[in-house]
């Protein structure tokens, strides 16, 4: 039996400060541009102020991309356009700067951290910092066997918690969370279908490389079979992750929950992070208040999960590549919202405008009533 008590997160996670959010809203009402005229940027600025417990909101100066990586044996069924066991190649490409997330991260000046949880490759082919949290090599084929043992699931979850603590302790003020996996969207579909009580066909998408109809049917069948194995363990979230999740998804769930404990905002990328967030919501209902949905990838499982958590995507560009790419696209929008909330001046007639306040103070003081009179 696991020694990890997930119920503790319910007590540890608080909502972003409501009083600070109301103060941010009041400040916004006094600014030169009328409230509502900036659309969702107003909501974003107020959300960030509440998350930071700061008015005016501070700029997002130390964001970071964190990618959890793993291979899923279910990819052997032909559910992905990529060969089973090839996620390690993607990780090396990310590290060498040859993936979309690498290009965007360079442009935006955001560091990228990759955490290998279950890649099916020799750990010696990757930097020690990448592989130090690895739980196992690859994951079980979830349609017929568990992805992890319960002990491995606990280790993966604790690794995700540790990574969140490392980021918070280093001063990271916002995380773009993503995955680097082959077969990960299949595992994510199982989690979403299980937690939303829906059928496999409702959550089965075509993945990052848009699989053909035959592969989609194989993927749908794999999710259906894994779903049968998931339903009996729905009451135990760690066992659910061990049964049909995998080390990377389990670690992401731990990371999301501990980020909420540490009051570190997270931008969710695609369907895999959304599925992990949905598990996190089941564990601690206040946790989604610390997360933003970056974009609508077009994956039906992502849409289902975000709807259940009442998270509305910021962008709709149809980006399916994963790896935090969509999350990075949304980052400048969050940074822009913070700048506007902090730097827009108050209306000239506002007595809280320092220049106007000084003028008003001088006008209200009668002649001859100064201290020297």
For residue 373, is pLDDT > 60? no
The structure's pTM equals: 0.91
Please check whether residues 269 and 347 belong to one and the same domain.
Answer: no
DSSP letters spanning 40-51: HHHHHHHHHHHH
Contacts of 126 (CB under 8 A, 6+ apart): 88, 91, 92, 95, 116, 119
Please check whether residues 223 and 345 belong to one and the same domain.
Answer: no
**Helices marked H in the chain:** 8-12, 18-29, 40-52, 87-96, 100-108, 128-131, 150-169, 184-196, 200-203, 213-230, 237-244, 247-261, 271-283, 300-309, 325-343, 354-364
Please check whether residues 137 and 112 belong to one and the same domain.
Answer: yes
Q: Which domain holds residue 153?
A: 63-333
Q: How far apart are CA 271 and CA 143, in angstroms?
A: 19
Is residue 295 within 8 Å of 329, Cβ to Cβ?
yes
Instruction: Grade residue 351 by pLDDT with cuts at 50, 70 and 90.
Output: low
Q: Is 242 helix (H, G, I), strand (E, B) or coil?
A: helix
Please check whether residues 40 and 157 belong to one and the same domain.
Answer: no
| Rounded mean pLDDT, 47-66 | 97
Among the residue ranges 142-151, 201-210, 344-353, the one predicted with the least confidence is 344-353
For residue 152, is pLDDT > 90? yes
Residue 348: what pLDDT? 84
Among the residue ranges 121-135, 162-176, 201-215, 267-281, the one predicted with the least confidence is 201-215
Residue 354: what pLDDT? 52
Assigned domain for 46 exists: yes
Assigned domain for 365 exists: no
Assigned domain for 39 exists: yes
Per-residue buried b or exposed e for 123-154, using 16+ beta carbons within 10 Å of the residue's own CB? eeebeeebbebbbbbbbbbbbeebbbebebbb
Looking up residue 121, the CATH number of its domain turns out to be 3.40.50.10210
Q: Is 87 helix (H, G, I), strand (E, B) or coil?
A: helix
φ and ψ at residue 115, rounded to 5 degrees? -120, 110
Please check whether residues 117 and 30 belong to one and the same domain.
Answer: no
Question: Mean pLDDT, the chain, as a whole number?
Answer: 92
Please check whether residues 227 and 261 belong to one and the same domain.
Answer: yes
Assigned domain for 325 exists: yes
Instruction: Grade residue 369 by pLDDT with cuts at 50, 70 and 90.
Output: very low
Instruction: Grade residue 353 by pLDDT with cuts at 50, 70 and 90.
Output: low
Q: How far apart are CA 46 and CA 252, in angstroms?
A: 26
Is residue 177 within 8 Å of 111, Cβ to Cβ?
no
Q: Is 17 helix (H, G, I), strand (E, B) or coil?
A: coil
| Rounded mean pLDDT, 95-121 | 97
For residue 355, is pLDDT > 60? no
Looking up residue 38, the CATH number of its domain turns out to be 1.10.1610.10
Residue 305: what pLDDT? 97
Please check whether residues 306 and 329 belong to one and the same domain.
Answer: yes
pLDDT of 259-296, one tens digit each? Answer: 999 999 999 999 999 999 999 999 999 999 999 999 99
Please check whether residues 32 and 121 belong to one and the same domain.
Answer: no
Please check whether residues 170 and 214 belong to one and the same domain.
Answer: yes
Residue 206: what pLDDT? 82
| Rounded mean pLDDT, 315-341 | 94
What percentage of the chain carries pLDDT values higher than 90? 86
Instruction: Grade residue 358 by pLDDT with cuts at 50, 70 and 90.
Output: very low
| Rounded mean pLDDT, 324-342 | 96
| Rounded mean pLDDT, 222-249 | 97
Assigned domain for 11 exists: no
Please check whether residues 152 and 41 belong to one and the same domain.
Answer: no
CA atoms within 13 A of residue 225's CA, in its CB half-sphere:
14
Q: What is the phi-psi region of residue 154: left when phi exceeds 0, alpha when psi lies from -120 to 50, beta otherwise?
A: alpha
For residue 303, is pLDDT > 90? yes
For residue 350, is pLDDT > 90? no
Residue 205: what pLDDT? 87
Bridge-partner residues for 31, per DSSP?
346
Residue 347: what pLDDT? 86
State how many domains the chain has.
Answer: 2
| Rounded mean pLDDT, 305-311 | 97
In the set 46, 167, 299, 323, the catalytic residue is 323
Is residue 249 within 8 Å of 280, Cβ to Cβ?
no
Residue 2: what pLDDT? 58
Contacts of 369 (CB under 8 A, 6+ apart): none
| Rounded mean pLDDT, 223-237 | 96
Assigned domain for 369 exists: no
Nearest by Cα to 193 from 263, 271, 120, 106: 271
Instruction: Grade residue 361 by pLDDT with cuts at 50, 70 and 90.
Output: very low
For residue 319, is pLDDT > 50? yes
Please check whether residues 49 and 69 belong to one and the same domain.
Answer: no
Assigned domain for 94 exists: yes
Active site residue 323: yes
Does residue 358 or residue 3 have the better pLDDT? Answer: 3
Assigned domain for 272 exists: yes
Please check whether residues 152 and 273 belong to one and the same domain.
Answer: yes
CA atoms within 13 A of residue 265's CA, in its CB half-sphere:
26
pLDDT of 69-84, one tens digit each? Answer: 999 999 999 999 899 9
């Amino acid at each position: 039996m696991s020694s990890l008590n997930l119920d503790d997160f319910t007590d540890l996670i608080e909502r972003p400060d409501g009083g600070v959010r109301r103060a941010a809203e009041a400040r916004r009402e006094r600014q030169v541009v009328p409230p509502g005229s900036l659309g969702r940027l107003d909501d974003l600025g107020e959300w960030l102020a509440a998350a930071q417990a700061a008015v005016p909101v501070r700029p997002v100066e130390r964001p970071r991309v964190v990618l959890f990586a793993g291979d899923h044996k279910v990819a052997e069924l032909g559910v992905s356009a990529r060969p089973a066991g090839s996620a390690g190649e993607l990780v090396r490409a990310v590290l060498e700067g040859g993936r979309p997330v690498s290009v965007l991260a360079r442009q935006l000046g955001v560091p990228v951290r990759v955490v290998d949880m279950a890649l099916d490759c020799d750990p010696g082919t990757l930097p020690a910092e990448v592989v130090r949290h690895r739980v196992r090599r690859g994951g079980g084929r979830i349609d017929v066997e568990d992805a992890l043992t319960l002990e491995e699931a606990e280790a993966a979850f604790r690794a995700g918690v540790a990574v969140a603590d490392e980021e918070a302790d280093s001063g990271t003020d916002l995380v773009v969370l993503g995955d680097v996996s082959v077969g990960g969207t299949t595992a994510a579909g199982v989690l979403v279908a299980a937690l939303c009580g829906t059928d496999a066909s409702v959550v089965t998408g075509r993945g990052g490389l848009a699989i053909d109809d035959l592969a989609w049917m194989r993927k749908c069948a794999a999710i259906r079979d894994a779903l049968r194995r998931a339903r009996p363990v729905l009451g135990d979230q760690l066992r659910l992750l061990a049964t049909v999740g995998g080390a990377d998804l389990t670690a992401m769930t731990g990371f999301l929950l501990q980020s909420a404990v540490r009051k570190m905002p997270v931008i969710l990328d695609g369907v895999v992070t959304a599925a992990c967030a949905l598990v996190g919501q089941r564990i601690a209902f206040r946790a989604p208040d610390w997360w933003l949905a970056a974009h609508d990838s077009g994956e039906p499982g992502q849409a289902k999960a975000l709807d259940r958590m009442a998270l509305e995507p910021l962008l709709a560009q149809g980006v399916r590549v994963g790896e935090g790419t969509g999350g990075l696209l949304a980052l400048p929008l969050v940074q822009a919202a913070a700048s506007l909330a902090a730097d827009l001046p108050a209306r000239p007639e506002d007595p809280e405008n320092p220049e106007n306040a000084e003028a008003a103070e001088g006008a209200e003081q009668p002649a001859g009533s100064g201290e020297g009179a």
